[in-house]
Amino acid sequence: MSDWISFYDFKHSVIYVNARHRDVHYRKIAEDIRDYAASPAAHVLDYGCGEATSAELVAAACAQLVLVEAAPNVRASLTMRYAGHSKIAVVTAEQASALPADSFDLIVMHSVAQYLSHAELDRLLAVFRKQLKRDGLLIVGDVVPPHLAAPAAALTLLQVGAANGFFWAAVGGLMRIFVSDYLRLRKTVGLSHYEAPAMLAKLKAAGFATTRAPHNIGHNQHRMTFLARPA
Ligand SMILES: C[S@@+](CC[C@H](N)C(=O)[O-])C[C@H]1O[C@@H](n2cnc3c(N)ncnc32)[C@H](O)[C@@H]1O
């Protein structure tokens, strides 16, 4: 399903209607992740971080933040953005997979599971299970249920736009998504959807004791966040 990596490999992805939308989106995600980074000594991995324009907020609450981004142009822009930041490292997906066991107190993978095949997700969960410390936490966020995913995403975008002064840009952005590669890729490459019991079973099979969080990270509360600890 690597075509999705190419889809996201723009300096400014079509998914964000403008810079304000992108920054509101990443600020909310960073604030929510920060709430889980319970200790200033914590080592945190954000897998599939995207443009992560508010990563400093997470870094300020922990000892080290490793940003993992598979899309090369997005990664290059992250590397430039955080070049002078002593707590933030930017790595490829391959480099992340090669990191040693017991490295992280918190691993976050937010809004990525839908772009992975079931086998890819299983492989990554096994890597995360090894890299997580015994008392660590894995967060799998923004998991998309099979029904009403598109209307819920569109409604969330309009609501966030209305609340943050970019409603009409959000309307225009929705139209742009319609003529972008997004719908074609959704049909040809596909997206992975999960009901809550299916994701709980997947995480259990990977060696985690998991609960569903009361709130999804980010704005879209139609999607789900799971909190998984080594069993
Ligand atoms: C919707 S963005 C999520 C960005 C950020 N975590 C957020 O919540 O806004 C999806 C991310 O998944 C990454 N991605 C897509 N397919 C992937 C794959 N097969 N392996 C690793 N990353 C992938 C993309 O590069 C992109 O950064």
Within 10 Å of residue 159's Cβ, how many Cβ atoms? 14
Residues 213-225, mean pLDDT to the nearest whole number: 97
Nearest-CA residue for atom 10 of ligand 1: 112
Candidates 160, 162, 164, 163; CA nearest to 152 is 160
Instruction: Please check the confidence at residue 11 and state whether its pLDDT lies above 60.
Output: no
Q: Measure 49 CA to ligand 1 centroid, in angstroms.
A: 7
DSSP string covering 168-210: HHHHHHHHHHHHSHHHHHHHHT------HHHHHHHHHHTTEEE
Q: Measure 69 CA to ligand 1 centroid, in angstroms.
A: 7
What is the tens place of the pLDDT at every residue in 131-166? 999 999 999 999 999 988 889 999 999 999 999 999
User: pLDDT averaged over the chain?
Assistant: 94
What is the tens place of the pLDDT at every residue in 91-113? 999 999 999 999 999 999 999 99
Pocket test for ligand 1, best of 112, 121, 182, 225 (most atoms within 8 A of CB): 112
Least confident of 12-26, 43-57, 138-152: 12-26
- State the pLDDT confidence band at 186, using cuts at 50, 70 and 90: confident
Pocket test for ligand 1, best of 1, 2, 3, 5 (most atoms within 8 A of CB): 5
Phi, psi of 209 (to 5 degrees): -95, 120
Q: Which residue has the higher pLDDT, 224 or 9?
A: 224
- State the pLDDT confidence band at 12, using cuts at 50, 70 and 90: low
0.85 cut: is pTM over it? yes
Q: HSE on the CB side for 139, CA within 13 Å? A: 29
Candidates 45, 184, 173, 23; CA nearest to 110 is 45
Pocket test for ligand 1, best of 4, 73, 117 (most atoms within 8 A of CB): 4
pLDDT confidence of residue 181: 82
Token pair in block for residue 176 = 């742009």
Residues 198-208, mean pLDDT to the nearest whole number: 98
Residues having CB within 6 Å of any atom of ligand 1: 1-2, 4-5, 8, 29, 48-50, 69-71, 93, 110-112, 115-116, 120, 142
- How far apart (Å, rounded) are the C-alpha atoms in residues 88 and 67? 7
For 82, the enclosing helix (H) or strand (E) is none
